[in-house]
Structure 1
Amino acid sequence: MLDDPGLYGPRRPLPLRVRPVPGESTGSFVNRLAHANGLSLAAFLDRVGQGEASAYAERVEKYPQSTEMYVNEAGLRYLAVLADRAAGLLQQDLPSLGAEHLLPGQEAAQWWWRWEPVAGHLVRYCPPCADAQGVGQTVWRMSPDSWQVCLQHGYWSDDSRGRGPDFVQLAELPETVTAQRVRQQLAEQWGPAGEELFADAFQVAVYWWTRMPDTARWVRRAWTAGLDAREMRAAPLVIYPEAAELARAMVDFEYAGQRDTAARTRWLESVEQLMSGWGVDAAEGRQALLVWLVRHRTEPPELGSPAGRPRLALARGHDRIASRTGSVSQRSCLTWQLGMAAADM
């Protein structure tokens, strides 16, 4: 027994073990553990404590892509015993079990199955990755963004719950694979500043797509992926390459440290040339760039260089708005959201 589950809790693990996938949603893991042991979800939950699974409990089991499970401390201990895995290890693998997400209440074990996650998105796990780990069922992971890219197998997955493919294989969209590599390189080279500048660039591209979804290269990518060019699900996938290239241009601007009017004008003109090459109307899209330049026109505070990494501190105007964690929209100083009307941006 890994933890003391209390007077009324489970005393032994279930006969068959299931190993969690790092980043997996609690609901996904619990479903897999229950089914591996021949239990219905309701029968399994009876062993975890008292809880609420919405007015239609059967839909929770049927639609794991729409729901997430949360527990209090006692519920976590019960789950740890059933899974034969230390509570701390479960918390490392299952983000929704983190201390910040535990339900209140210290006495009786409690669980709550919400229709929407508290933080992040439920995104399908890459099937070849699951197969390589011997996972026989569908796995849903918690992701800060509504999509994930598997570079090893060239899969794009998202939180889509409607029509269309469950996954997009990127063999015919190599520019999207390259864009994901650029995003990772920026994070590795520049740390949080690189991640936040990618987020800024992505938000600018969201602004462009909202106004110009019929841009030829974006339509072509959507059709290649088997998606409708104007559905929001397609937007992150089709704008990814331009966002990555724009992010590199933003890094160059920040690293140069020249913020006077002439420097900002030169940078704007260089990006508008990029837009022209992409077939993006510069006159329609330059407003987003101007907003970004306003956020980044002031000098950053003086900071020391992190060990092994060149210094790149972002402007105060950026830091006052952007978050250090979360989705691309949260990590950006540009606050509009995908799905907003153009007039609201």
Structure 2
Amino acid sequence: MGERTAVWDDPGLYGPRRALPLRAWPVTGESTGSFVNRLAHANGLSLATFLDRVGQGEASADPERVEKYPRCTEMYVNEAGLHYLSVLADLSPGLLQQDLPSLGAEWLLAGGLEEAAEWRWPWEPLAGHLVRYCRLCGDDLGVGEAVWLMSPDSWQVCLRHGYWSDESRGRGPDFVRLAELPETVTAHGVRQQLAARWGAAGEELFADAFQVAVYWWTRMPDTVCWVQRAWTAGLGAREMRAAPLVIYPEAAELAGAMLDFERAGQRDVAARAGWLAGVEQLMVRWGVDVAEGRQALLVWLGRHRMGVPAASRPADGCRLMLASGHGRIASRSGSVRQRSCLTWQLGMTAADM
């Protein structure tokens, strides 16, 4: 059960005085817009009507357009707006912030509790992607309607029900069944194992491998295995939304090879050449053109050619420390692109890479 709103959460003279009659429980990682949309509908309110109770803001005069906001962008509030929402939802501000990432302190609009409550729906989310939550997981929770997650990446995988979802809305299937793509399911499991065993280093190595595969797909989208996976998923082979799904298996296997390189700790010319030759053999097996794809691997090796100075290593020596060149570029959190030392972005033209 959730925490009930406490006395110190008093929203002030003009705020709501009591909770709405019916509750809605937030889903971990849910977008604020998705949650307030469900809370409004649970109580027979349109989203536009509900927003009037959360403070001041500008919305379309067309209520049908307002109803589409949660699937298109994210809602942000200031501190007073958070407390208004807390009263209406009958959940403490802390619990809401725990489950709804866009209510975190770093994303609150300017203005403290003494300011007027305010909300905004910018054209694009300030961070992350709106990705559809697994429909069957939603049914299990009894949410009753679509749930949108605020995801660091533009896709989500539900291993429990075997579904892939992404941020595409109204363009092809909302969900891709993975029953006929077992290699993608396996790849996601490998990604989870890397994170569980090696922590941030494992996640960042997967991110590096994924970025290399993004480079390959951008230059070679007609690679046979990727075309076949896209068609199996009911997607076009050159659709950008298909890219993360179809390159996932190669990215996971490449991440394992990158892990072997880092753990070996040998970074001289001979070691780098030997590793590159081994990965080129994998590329041949995958059907990825070696001459076209080698450049991305050379960039990665360049960023990973120097180890971490001894003075910077943890005293217990138990943690895998990635190359110093990697750490200067990669973020410790965020999307796969942000967590990689390779700055290519899905959607770039080949000439820009």
Pair 199,231 (structure 1): closer, same or farther in 2 beyond 3 Å: same
Q: Say whether residues 1:245 and 2:253 are aligned partners.
A: yes
Whole-Å separation in 1 of the counterparts to 2:309 and 2:251:
26
Q: Say whether residues 1:214 and 2:222 are aligned partners.
A: yes
Whole-Å separation in 2 of the counterparts to 1:248 and 1:125:
29
1:304 aligns with: 314
Whole-Å separation in 1 of the counterparts to 2:55 and 2:169:
30
Structure 2 unaligned segments of length 5 or more: list them: none
Aligned residue runs from structure 1 range 77-88, under 5 A: 77-88=83-94
Q: Say whether residues 1:37 and 2:29 are aligned partners.
A: no
Amino acid in structure 1 at the alignment position of 2:314: G
Aligned residue runs from structure 1 range 135-284, under 5 A: 135-284=143-292
What's the offset of the Cα at 1:63? 4.3
% same residue: 79
2:122 aligns with: 114
Whole-Å separation in 2 of the counterparts to 1:133 and 1:215:
40
Amino acid in structure 2 at the alignment position of 1:314: L
What's the offset of the Cα at 1:59? 1.6
What's the offset of the Cα at 1:265? 0.3
2:67 aligns with: 61
Give the CA RMSD over aligned residues. 1.3
What's the offset of the Cα at 1:62? 2.1
Contact 1:305 / 1:311 at 8 angstroms: preserved in 2? no
Whole-Å separation in 1 of the counterparts to 2:60 and 2:227:
39
Pair 68,238 (structure 1): closer, same or farther in 2 beyond 3 Å: same
What's the offset of the Cα at 1:162? 4.0
Query: Could you say what secondary structure the match of 1:50 adopts?
Result: coil
What's the offset of the Cα at 1:312? 1.1
Whole-Å separation in 1 of the counterparts to 2:293 and 2:61:
46
1:25 aligns with: 31
Q: Deviations over 1:215-254 (max 9, x none)?
A: 0000000000000000100000000000000000000000
2:76 aligns with: 70
Amino acid in structure 2 at the alignment position of 1:67: T
What's the offset of the Cα at 1:55? 6.8
Structure 1 unaligned segments of length 5 or more: list them: none
Amino acid in structure 1 at the alignment position of 2:219: R
1:324 aligns with: 332
Contact 2:331 / 2:339 at 8 angstroms: preserved in 1? yes
Whole-Å separation in 2 of the counterparts to 1:57 and 1:105:
28
Q: Deviations over 1:5-35 (max 9, x none)?
A: 1111001000000000000000000000001
Whole-Å separation in 1 of the counterparts to 2:266 and 2:74:
47
Whole-Å separation in 1 of the counterparts to 2:45 and 2:242:
38
Query: Could you say what secondary structure the match of 2:153 adopts?
Result: coil
What's the offset of the Cα at 1:115? 2.2
What's the offset of the Cα at 1:64? 2.2
Amino acid in structure 2 at the alignment position of 1:130: G
Contact 1:10 / 1:47 at 8 angstroms: preserved in 2? yes
What's the offset of the Cα at 1:58? 3.7
Query: Could you say what secondary structure the match of 1:142 adopts?
Result: strand
Contact 1:23 / 1:141 at 8 angstroms: preserved in 2? yes
The TM-score with structure 1 as length reference comes to 0.97
What's the offset of the Cα at 1:56? 5.4
Contact 1:298 / 1:315 at 8 angstroms: preserved in 2? yes
Contact 1:301 / 1:315 at 8 angstroms: preserved in 2? no
Amino acid in structure 1 at the alignment position of 2:305: R
1:50 aligns with: 56
Contact 1:218 / 1:229 at 8 angstroms: preserved in 2? yes
Query: Could you say what secondary structure the match of 2:157 adopts?
Result: strand
Amino acid in structure 2 at the alignment position of 1:304: P
Contact 2:48 / 2:66 at 8 angstroms: preserved in 1? no
